[in-house]
Amino acid sequence: MPLVRIDLRRGKPAAHIKAIRDGIYTARHQSFQVPEADRFIVVHQHDADEFDYDPDYLGIHRTDDLVMIQVTCNNTRGIPQKKAFYAAVVEQLTASPGLRPEDVLINLVETAKENWSFGNGVAQYA
């Protein structure tokens, strides 16, 4: 049930974006045990003047290839599972499409199960 939002600079080819989507999906499936058909991912591409970041925050050197990933999910996972997810995402995205680990920013937004409706005006998990 995680909803994934991906933000990056405009101009990457479709195959690059697909590799990012697929890598995050694989990492979620492995680390968060998300069901196979649970795939809800949106990609937002930004012009340079719409994409602002600190290139050296916390001593991590980022480039314009930075990908910001926000995952909204249930608040049911502990710190070890979250750390495994972060590592799995970086592993997937460095393998394909070849991102640098420093250019992968991940943010989890946790919510209660009753805050989801997947259609028909029904709170399926409430």
pLDDT at 1 over 80: no
Asked whether residue 76 is domain-assigned, the answer is: yes
- Indicate the pTM of the whole model: 0.94
Asked whether residue 125 is domain-assigned, the answer is: no
Cα four-point dihedral sign 116, 107, 40, 7:
positive
pLDDT tens digits, one per residue of 32-79: 988 888 899 999 999 999 999 999 999 999 999 999 999 999 999 999
Q: Which of 71, 80, 78, 83 is nearest to 111 (CA)?
A: 71
CATH code assigned at 58:
3.30.429.10
Please indicate whether residue 126 or residue 92 has the higher confidence score (pLDDT).
92
Among the listed residues 2, 35, 80, 101, the single catalytic one is 2
pLDDT at 125 over 90: no
- Mean pLDDT over residues 25-31, rounded? 93
> Is 2 known to be catalytic?
yes
Question: Can you give the residue range of the structural domain that contains 108?
Answer: 3-115
Asked whether residue 97 is domain-assigned, the answer is: yes
Q: How many domains does the chain have?
A: 1
Q: How many CB atoms lie within 10 A of CB 95?
A: 12
| Per-residue pLDDT at 110 | 96
